[in-house]
Amino acid sequence: MARRLVDNINSAYVEAANKLTSKKAPHKIVVYVESYDDIFFWRSVLTPYENEKRYFEILLPSKGQQLERGKKAAISNIVESVGPNMIACVDADYDYLIQGASPTSRTVLSNPYIFHTYAYAIENLQCYAPSLHGVVVASILNDKRTFDCVEYLTHFSRIIWPLFVWSVWFYRSTHYGQFTITDFNQVIELGKVSASRDHLETFSKLKQHVNRKVRQLESKFPGTQEQLKALAQELKEMGVHPNNTYMYIQGHHLFNHIVVPLLISICDRLYNERIRELKELSQHIAQYHTELACYEKSTESIPSMLKKNTGYMLSPEFKKIQHDIEEYLANNFSISSL
């Protein structure tokens, strides 16, 4: 009986449970997310909308007694259950970009109780370029600006933009299996990412790889020029443009293969500078070791700091999510009812 009851929990069930509590008790809204890592992000989205009359409880979807993760589980298991009192929050992946070209995309975009990140995933938002200096400072406790992450990711984005448009075109068509996101990632692979390397050379090679692939696709799929031009314009109207392409590529690739190595390289340089300063300022070796131990205990790893980064709250994508949440609340909860 208990198992069947859990399986049948839906928005109406949550509403009924709310009515059984004290009239003065805050109204609970259940929120399902894809994975443990998503809980902190969606908490940062939803906290500003909590008050003495309502709160959100963020959970992972479950099927029977077996915990399931991922977008498929988050949507397929509860798509019939979501409503005013139960919502689902997922990564957009390409579902926002392809605008209903797949069943999952149609569900994500049309259901008023399913919210998405607009950017490919939360990792992209965590890597929001204007916030990355703050991540470096939080990790290494050194506020010196030695590298322009915004310029770097903007340059990277502009180069990959033409191939990115092709990638979206494939996922909107019946040919998507002929140029997958994995294929796209292989073309835009930067190799060893370092803040000390010659980026002109790195990006020159990247541009060669992108242009070569674009020419191959143009040869294999002739007559698509006007379609691609129209798609590029549509993407720009959706807020996706050459300068911010990095926000819409696969999040794990951006996080693990581009941003983390880059920030580690920046931090290594700043760390070495700090060590030299400690040696110069210390009056004796004992003081140096004491200061060094204190400093090292205060630092944190880049991956850890990046996952806790909330600088994305200033991004256009985050503001779109906020708008969707505000619209949902306005449409479903009047001031008198809560």
What does pLDDT average to in each consecutive run of 10 residues of the chain (338 residues)? 45 58 79 91 96 92 52 67 91 96 92 96 98 95 92 97 98 92 96 83 95 97 95 98 98 97 93 76 76 78 94 98 96 64
Q: SS3 helix, strand, coil % of the chain, rounded to 5?
A: 65, 10, 30
Whether the CA torsion 305, 310, 312, 318 is positive or negative: it is positive
pLDDT for 289: 76
CA-closest candidate to residue 28, choices 2, 57, 51: 57
pLDDT for 155: 97
Rounded to whole angstroms, the Cα distance separating 192 from 190 reads 6
pLDDT for 17: 61
pLDDT for 216: 97
pLDDT for 335: 46
Whether the CA torsion 30, 33, 35, 37 is positive or negative: it is negative
User: Parallel, antiparallel, or unpaired for β 114-116 and 27-33?
Assistant: unpaired
Amino acid identity for residue 176 in this structure: Y
pLDDT for 8: 54
Rounded to whole angstroms, the Cα distance separating 29 from 89 reads 12
